[in-house]
Amino acid sequence: MAQCIVGDRYEAHVPDTLDLAERMGLAINALTNVWHPEERYALAFNVEFSHRPPVRNINHLTDAYLNIPPKFIEALAVCRLASGSDQNLDTDAEVLRAQQSLLGDDGLTYCPTDTLPQLTGPRPFAEVWGEGRRLLALAMLAQVGDDPRWIETAQRKIDRLLALTREKQGFRFLWKGRFRPGETVPPDADEPVGSRQDGSLLDRYPDPKMSIIYSVGALGHGAGLVYRLTGYEPALELSRGLARWALARVFTDPDGRWDIYHFHHSLYALIAVCTYASVANDRAALERVDACYRWAREMGDPLIGYYSECMPGSDPYLERQGNTVETCEVADMVWLALSLTRAGIGDYWDDVDRWVRNVYAEAQILDADFLQSVPESYFTTEPATRLYQDTRDIAQRSVGSFFGWMRANDGLNVEQTEHGPKLRRGIMHCCTANGARTLYFVWDSMVTKQADEVRVNLLLNRASPWLDVDSYLPVEGKVILRIKDAPNVAVRMPAWCNPAQVGVRVAGQARRVLVEGQLVRIGWLQPGDEVALTFPVPERSLHRVIGEIPYKLVVRGSNVVSIDPAGVAYPLYAHQPSGTSVRRTRFLPQIRQIVW
């Protein structure tokens, strides 16, 4: 990971508005403070703020060693790359060393047999979900370092996983999600039929479609990325076979609808199909992904990016007291919006802009002091009795994490009980990894170069090799471009802005520009030029029902600037920027770009 933080650093005065590089630097704190070194760097998955002090614990072997650690490794690589943070850098090496020690002779990664004795069950085993996530992590590591082991390990995994699939009707399937060393495919193995004994986490669900999306999601995505990076044909075969399975069994409706209740796992399978379709140039599959994305967009609140853990209308959704958001769903929707836009299938920049500025940005814990203002009666008086629990500075060590059960107005889920309002849970660290890694993909997409033109796709603070962006939104309609190497620039204005009303000054002088749709094109720029764009920002009040609860929102541009009723435990939208310039260290990594 050390190569991630090699680059140029310089001081600059930047507006105190949303800065994704800064947010990824904050995430490093959380990503490096979840490990138990004494248990071969097991990962602690849950944080409960319902106790005082907060309690963190290891939940089970799969999340401790297999599924979640590679997500954290991937997130660490990209967050260091964007932020340049060296916080706890030595932890990265120790985690990688511990994870590599779990690699089996057949190429799969197995949970250890000599740790966490209170977590019972047959060992060792490997999990399909974890293997897919590990392929993604290996692909990232291969791009930020020069160690050939990462690609070699990825290819070994692909070969073994491909051997564990069966072919049928033009697709490939895995008949289960958990495997033991030396296991082979039984002659009578067929598609999943629901709950199975000694299966993986999602093999235990009665709906066989849950096993399909569980198998396809991470594994199909990881195999597709390995192919994109290396051209290794077995990786494409695995990605294609699993994508076709999902298209044949789950994403069958031309209108895009599907009927699995778990939003995140469904979306992740859709991400896998999108990855395959992109690398294979399968236009029909991309169009089906696009239809599914457009349908899913309406299954939450597309204004602010509020997407709940359970699909609206499903039995689990209807059973709950209001429905909360996992950051995972929001990050998945952002990934799909970015990928479909970059593939030329749709134009979803405004979706990304709204969601990143609102639910996504608000989901990240920015300081450790918020619990001090929570009423004492909201905490449980029952002692915490979790296995492998920890109470040491949990709030501070959780700064930079992403919430797992959010309301539209509150980062923490406050439920009404017979004893009054009570806090319920807080963080599940799948959301921290997904939230952190996807911030990089947004950051990477904000400023791009196409031929001889630099495009500014999102009006957020960003340093780049070609120009720096200082955005004063939502405080005022002003964006400053500091030109380095960008003679021609196209700035995409958000949908709420009329480009004809954008004023442009270069070095203080008014400049005529070319307007094409939402693009404002500016040419003949020189290194050192300062380009100022100014425009009106509309403000409006809206009444919306979000997660079955009515709210009044005040929206300025794309940003929610207030919500009523306000949250009580971790109030969202309560800390608005002032537009004041603050001194920050900007970082440009030597590794300019990675394939994701």
Q: Do 207 and 194 form a contact (C-beta atoms < 8 A)?
A: yes
In CATH, which of 3.40.50.2000, 3.40.50.720, 1.50.10.10, 3.40.50.150 is domain 2-446? 1.50.10.10
Alpha-carbon span 491 to 496, nearest angstrom: 14
Radius of gyration of the chain (CA): 24
Long-range contacts of 538-543 (CB under 8 A, 24+ apart): 538/496, 542/303
Say what the pLDDT of residue 202 is.
64
Alpha-carbon span 540 to 554, nearest angstrom: 6
Alpha-carbon span 523 to 118, nearest angstrom: 65
Say what the pLDDT of residue 321 is.
65
**CA–CA distance from 289 to each of 138, 274, 277, 359, 538 (Å)?**
26, 6, 9, 23, 33
Say what the pLDDT of residue 242 is.
97
- Same topology between domain 2-446 and domain 448-536: no
Reading phi first (left if > 0) and then psi (alpha if -120 to 50, else beta), residue 145 is in beta
Give the DSSP letter string of 461-484: BB--SSEEEEE-TTTSSEEEEEES
Instruction: Please identify every stretch of the chain with a pLDDT value under 70, giving residue numbers as ranges.
Output: 198-199, 201-202, 321
Q: Do 289 and 270 form a contact (C-beta atoms < 8 A)?
A: yes
448-536 carries CATH number 2.60.40: yes
Give the DSSP letter string of 349-375: HHHHHHHIIIIIHHTB---S-GGGGS-
pTM: 0.97
Say what the pLDDT of residue 178 is.
92
Token couple for 150: 């990462």
Q: Which of 99, 83, 98, 79 has the alpha carbon at shortest distance from 31?
A: 79
Count CB neighbours of 117 within 10 A: 7
Domain boundaries, the chain: 2-446, 448-536
Say what the pLDDT of residue 314 is.
87
